[in-house]
Each structure stands twice: as structure tokens, then as C-alpha cells.
């Protein structure tokens, strides 16, 4: 009799990332949300045809919507295809939505999509609550990254000798 682990291995299949989000914002908190999608959108996402670089999330009427996410129309979708940049509803718990409403309206923070992925067959998006960086913050982050890269390179060269 073989023993099997009851816990399934959670594999995330990443579809799209937003690297500019961490460059332009200080990410304070992150959430995982589901997406309301049509069939052709899911098929297009499974083939990796999406972009969240220009996307942002907004709170309206007690719900959270994702705006500006571009999902390329499915090639075999013919007349059932979707609008590529339509507004998509995010699925979050009521407590999470209330917390987001408070943070966005009172503190002036932004909701930024970080990554779009599939988890156990369901399309999910990681959204972050972020405060915009000033220009000098961006320059400082670039300097720190460059210094880290140079030190790592120097250490690697030292090991080779």
C-alpha cells in the first residue's frame, strides 16, 4: 500500500506579468482575485494572448472592475468573440472589497494588476494596492538594482579565480 500526499501541488501557469507595476508603485498589499470571463477569453488566455501592462482596477458601485486589460480575440471564435479591452469584473470577498474601497477613496492609493495566471484551472489575477513612486524614488531603485547586480557580478568573478 503506497501512501500519497492528500495536499495537491498548486501549480501556477503564468499568462501575463506587469513588471512596470513595481517600478511605478510601492506595493503595500496584494490580493488574489478571480475574473468573470467569456469562453473565447479563457481560450485566448490559455494560449497566452493577454497584456496587463496598461491595465488598472477601479472600484464602482461596491464592486471591483479591471479596465484596460487586452485579451486578443480567439482565432477560432468567429462571431462569438469578445471585445479585446472590455471592462471585466473581479471576484473578491465583501470584506476585501470594503477594505479596498476604504484604501482607494480615503488614502488615495491605486489598484494595480501584477500578474495574470491560472491556478487549478481557474483564471486569477494578483492585484496590488500601491502608492505611486516619485521620480527620485524610481532613480534610487534603479541605482540600488545596479549596485546589487555589480556586486553579484564581482562575487561571481571572484569565485571563478
Q: What CATH number is given to the structural domain containing 89? A: 2.40.280.10
Q: Confidence class of residue 6 from pLDDT cuts 50, 70 and 90? A: very low
In a domain, 79, yes or no: yes
pLDDT band at 9 (very low <50, low <70, confident <90, very high): low
- Contact between 12 and 32 under an 8 Å Cβ cutoff? The reply is no
pTM > 0.75: no
Domain assignment present for residue 37? The answer is yes
The closest alpha carbon to 71, from 49, 42, 38, 43, belongs to 49
Domain-embedded: residue 122: yes
**Residue 81 domain flag:** yes
Q: Which of 56, 63, 34, 54 is nearest to 129 (CA)?
A: 56
Backbone angles phi, psi at 68, to 5 degrees: 80, 5
Amino acid at each position: 500500500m503506497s501512501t500519497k500526499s492528500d495536499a495537491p501541488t498548486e501549480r501556477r501557469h503564468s499568462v501575463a506579468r506587469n513588471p512596470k507595476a513595481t517600478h511605478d508603485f510601492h506595493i503595500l498589499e496584494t490580493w488574489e482575485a478571480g475574473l468573470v470571463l467569456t469562453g473565447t477569453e479563457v481560450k485566448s488566455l490559455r494560449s497566452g494572448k493577454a497584456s496587463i501592462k496598461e491595465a488598472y482596477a477601479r472600484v464602482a458601485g461596491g464592486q471591483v472592475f479591471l479596465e484596460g486589460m487586452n485579451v486578443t480575440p480567439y482565432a477560432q471564435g468567429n462571431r462569438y468573440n469578445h471585445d479585446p479591452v472590455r471592462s471585466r469584473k473581479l471576484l473578491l470577498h465583501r470584506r476585501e472589497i470594503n477594505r479596498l474601497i476604504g484604501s482607494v477613496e480615503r488614502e488615495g492609493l491605486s489598484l494595480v494588476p501584477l500578474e495574470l495566471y491560472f491556478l487549478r484551472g481557474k483564471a486569477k489575477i494578483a492585484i496590488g494596492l500601491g502608492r505611486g513612486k516619485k521620480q527620485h524614488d524610481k532613480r534610487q531603485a534603479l541605482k540600488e538594482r545596479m549596485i546589487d547586480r555589480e556586486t553579484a557580478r564581482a562575487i561571481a568573478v571572484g569565485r571563478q579565480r
